[in-house]
Every structure is written in C-alpha cells, then in structure tokens.
Structure 1
C-alpha cells in the first residue's frame, strides 16, 4: 500500500489552520471592499486620468473667473511658455526622486547657468564666438553642478537634503559674485532667432519641453537605465546585490538633473533675454510639487513622466488664473501647499491599502 507524501498543511495545528484561513479571508475581503475609485487611482492610467480631469476643471474655473482673457490664444501660449522652464526642471527632478533622492538646488543651478551663459555672451560674442558656445556653457555648468551633487551623495555619504542644500547656497552665491547682483541683458540675434522660432505655430521653447518629456519617458520606461533607476529607488541594497552599481547610477541621476537645469536656463534666457542670480527662486519647491502631484513617490521606486507633465500644467495654469484674477502670491503659495499635502496624503493612503491587500 503506497503512502501519500506528507504535506506541510497536514502537520499544522488547528489553531494555525484557523489563523491562516482568517488571514486569507481578511485579505480577500479587503480586496472586495476596496472602493473602485481607489483601485483606479492606484494604477498609472487612473492617476493620469485623474490629473487630466483636475486640469480640465481648473481650465473651466479659469474660464469662469477670468473670462475671455484666460481663453485667449496668446494666454494659452503664455501658460505653455511658463510651463517649459518648470517642466524641463521637473523632468530631471522626476528621475532624482524616483531614484530615492531629492534635489533642492535646481533653481540655484538654473540661475548660475544663466549668469555664466550671459556673462560669456556679453564678454566674448563681440569676438565672433558662435552662439552655440553659449549654449554649451549652460549645459556644462548644469552638468558640473549635478556632478558635484552626485559625488557628494554617492561617494561622500552626504545626505541628499544636506548636499543639495549646500549646492543651493553655493550656486546662488557664485551667481551673485559673477553677476555682481546685476541683471545681465544679452543680445545675440542668432540665439534669439533660433530659440524664438515657431514650429507649426508653437513656440520652439515649448517644443523643447515636449522633446525633453518624450526623451524622459523613453529613458524611464523603455531602457535599462530606467529600470535601474526604479530598482535603486525601491531598494538600494537589493539593486546592489542584483549587480547594479548604485553609487555610479546615483551620480548619473544628479548629472541628468543638472543638464535639465542647463536646458531650462537657456529657455529662461530666450524668454527674458537676461541672466540673473534671482532666476529660479523657489523653483525647486514647484518642481518637487509637480513631481509629487504627478504620482512619483517621494520615497522612490516609482515615477511617472506623464504625471509630471500634468502636474506642471496644473501648477502653471493655477498661477496664470491667480495672476489674471489679481490674487496675491501668498494665496498662491497657500493653495500650492494644500495641494502638495493632499497629494502626499493620497499617496500614503494608496500605499497603505496596496500593502494591506
């Protein structure tokens, strides 16, 4: 007579079996009772759909409160131009936060890049130096600042908050020294013509934002670099054991954010024809807010480029509505703070529900 192989379930006590069945039934019950809206928002498609609905509602509010001034075509282009600077910086910030870091220095890096760029333009353009050198200077300065951030954090063991806070103060101070706290006006016709061009009626600086966002989406979602970013942000130790050089990858993320700041500095110069140490003031807070609203986890491990783009459009549209209705900056800051808190609370609630189910 053959014997049936002994199963682990056969040697469990009745109490263990009862506890196991209770846990399984509780998990199934929690899944059944989860609200359909919460299940939808827990997916990337649901989050993006919710952000789109919020943007549409905000546009309706803008049309009601500001009337034809908000719906005017020129005003729409103004919103998109404002979104270009914040949007490019936010794309870089998305990678940093997804990788488990934070960057408080993006506004100061933008200011330093713009000052360095315009100083080079005013001092050397008279010597027939091509304007592409000015563009390269902005990108190199941004990448250099990001490299310093990355090395301090990855190899120096400095906490990202402290390292980037130090860069914020240093970059802003260096920008003030170079510019002597003066706004530098730059007049390079070739650069202005290139950056001020329109493609199918759309300002070229907006096209730059679209291209950066598209490249960021491909990089995060369709490449090994993106998968490594998600792994490093989700669990650095597990990523290291999987063969990922966590330190080197962290440096890459901050260099990428610095390059985005350099691109944003060029857009700022194209919009204002100036370089100033005051450019990008408080930009880091708006960028972090746009990224968080877009569904990127502050703890790392999950990021959304599409969500970040929606977050940027929501913030710039909100700023435009407040400007057209003559609301104060203090009211804008108060509402932005409330939006950030609400987004973080929603993230925490969704995360707790997902972990419980």
Structure 2
C-alpha cells in the first residue's frame, strides 16, 4: 500500500480467511495514489503553511524563533501521542472519551512520594500500567460487556478523574527525581530536538506501520467498517476491540510520562479536554467517526494544525473563547467535507 493511502474497510464480508480478499458486493470508491487521500493530506499541509505565513507576518520575531517552534512541537507531542491511540479506536468503530482523565490519573499516580522512590523506571512503569489498566477496563466493558463505547468511556472519565483527585488531594505533586527532570532540559536534546518530540515521532511511525503494514491494522479497519462481515470472515471482533482500547490506554500512559517530564509535576487537572482535542485532530485528519477509515499521518497533521493555531492566538493576545470558536469551526468544516466525500 502506498504510504500516503489510508485504510478503508470492505463493505462486504471477505472470503474464508481474515486476510483474504473481500467478496463481491458494494464498495466505497477505491483510494489511489494521488487521489482524494493525497489531496486531504496536502490540504492540511497547506493549512500549516498558511498558519506559518500568518505567524511570520504578524509576529515574525516571536513566531519564527527557534524556541517558539520547538515549543509548538513539544506541546503537540503530548496530545499527539494520545491522538494516535484515539485514531485506532475510532477507525475500529469505537470512541474513547476517557483519555484525558487517564492521563491525569497516570500522572498523579506516578508522582506520588511512594512511586518516585523507584526512580525514573518506576515512574515510567507506573504510567504505562495505569494506562493499560484503564484501557483494559474500557475494552472489557465495550467488547464483552457489551456496553456502548460512549457510556463506558464516559464512566471511566468520571472515575479516573475522581481517583486522581483523591490520590492527589487536589494538590500539585512536584517531581524530585533528577533523572526525570533532566529529560526536559536543553542538555538532553538530540540535535536540538527535545526527547519528548522524538518519542512522539517514534509513536507516530510505529502507529503508521501497525495500521498500514500489519494484520492488526487490517483487522482494525475491517472491524470498524463492517463488524458482522469481519466476524463471518473469522476475525475475533471482541478481542480486536479489547486490544484497541488497550492500545489507547498505553498511549495515554506514554503521554502522561511526557507530561510529567514537560511540567515536572503531576496533578488531577492534567489532560483536561484532551479527549476533545484528540478526536478533533483525528477528524480533520480524515478519520471517519463511523469507523473503517483513517490515517495516522492525517491525525498527526491535525494535531500540528491545532497546536499552531493555539500558539498563534497566544502570541497575538487573542482570547481563549476566540480560539475555541475557531477550533469548532474547523471541526464542523472537516465533518461536512467528510460527509460529502462519503456520500459522493
């Protein structure tokens, strides 16, 4: 498959095996290199270029400063890692509203005095285990409950936030582990690039490879596009959905550790509205909310667009409410474009 192509689920049941070609039946219009998918990615790149031009014209000294550009990438990295996991869940036909709360819980749990005694390794392991644990609960509720993903993850959102508040007692927990704090200083940069950004790049590349070059990715697309056809083809639909929520939880755990490095603390308000930002980035990147189609590259570009907009608004001293209105308008436009493409 061309690296710029997205995965599109078959509309009819495949043949005898899970990886066999789909049988006859109505299909969506095929994606080809240089077709609609290429235009979607190019359009997002065009938006990014336009935002850079606006920044260069309005605040040239500040926006084009190396430190500011590095700040944009750093801020995009945390929500970007979360978005990769959310993209998989949405392509698989689900939704995850609990990612922000999971990030908060993982960051709080990992920055308690008891956990910090185990050093960097213990804190990293804690964030990953908390993320995986929450993802496991979500997956079990959705796949084997069975419970509607919206309700299951909404319940996790409330529970994780409440537990994070209880553990932290509403206080900011400051990190005292030097090995963790050192990852956020300039001496740890690799060729001028912060380690946080490198982790985001690695997660994005691995996510792209998994979605486009593995059986897991093909099964994710199939389950999201037509669960019944996937079941008849021999795909374990319930297990696949469970694995998708585990993957989302893992990404939340990674993001929580990155946030700890970035802020040097853990608090129950971390990850506020991450679920909305991640879903919005995936949508404008071309992921269908109904499942069965999406790209990691598109989601990453969506994250960069939103982060750049936020940075531009901050530099130009525009109010937060104006930022939210602009983001909302972009989301509506992206959904309308999606609808037109699917029905055409």
Taking structure 2 as the reference length, what is the TM-score of the superposition?
Answer: 0.88
Say if 1:41 and 1:47, in contact at 8 Å, map to a contact too: no
Which moved further from structure 2: 313-322 or 186-195? 186-195
Q: Deviations over 1:301-324 (max 9, x none)?
A: 011001011100000000000000
- The change in CA–CA distance for 1:290 and 1:125 in structure 2 (over 3 A counts) is closer
The Cα shift of 1:66 comes to: 2.1
Question: Matched residues in 2 for 1:40 and 1:328: separation?
Answer: 41
Q: CA deviation at 1:123?
A: 2.5
Q: Which residue of structure 2 lines up, in the alignment, with residue 253 of structure 1? A: 244
Aligned to 2:162: 173
Is 1:100 equivalent to 2:93 in the alignment? yes
Alignment of 1:308-323 (within 5 A): 308-323=299-314
Q: Which residue of 2 aligns with 1:147?
A: 136
Name the CA distance, whole Å, in 1 between partners of 2:116 and 2:163.
Answer: 22
Equivalents in 1 of 2:35, 2:102: separation in Å?
34
What is aligned with 1:4? none
| 1:233 Cα offset (Å) | 0.4
Q: Secondary structure at the match of 1:202?
A: coil
Larger radius of gyration: 1
Which residue of structure 1 aligns with residue 296 of structure 2? 305
Determine the structure 2 residue equivalent to 1:79: 72
CA positional deviation for 1:163: 0.6
SS in 2 for 1:284: helix
Which TM-score applies when normalising by structure 1? 0.85
1:3-42 to 2 correspondences below 5 Å: none
Q: What CA deviation, in whole Å up to 9, does each residue of 1:283-310 have, x standing for no partner?
A: 1101000000001111100110010111
1:230 paired to 2:252:
no
SS class of match (2:293)? coil
Structure 1, unaligned runs of 5 or more: 1-30, 32-38
Give 2:337's aligned residue.
Answer: 346
Q: Which residue of 2 aligns with 1:290?
A: 281
What is the CA RMSD across the aligned residues, in angstroms?
1.5
* Higher normalized helix content (fraction of residues): 1
Report what 1:112 is aligned to.
105
What 5-or-longer segments of structure 2 have no aligned partner?
1-28
CA contact (8 A) 2:119 2:177 kept: no
User: 1:193 offset after TM fit, Å?
Assistant: 2.1
Q: Is the 8 A contact 1:154 1:250 kept in 2?
A: yes
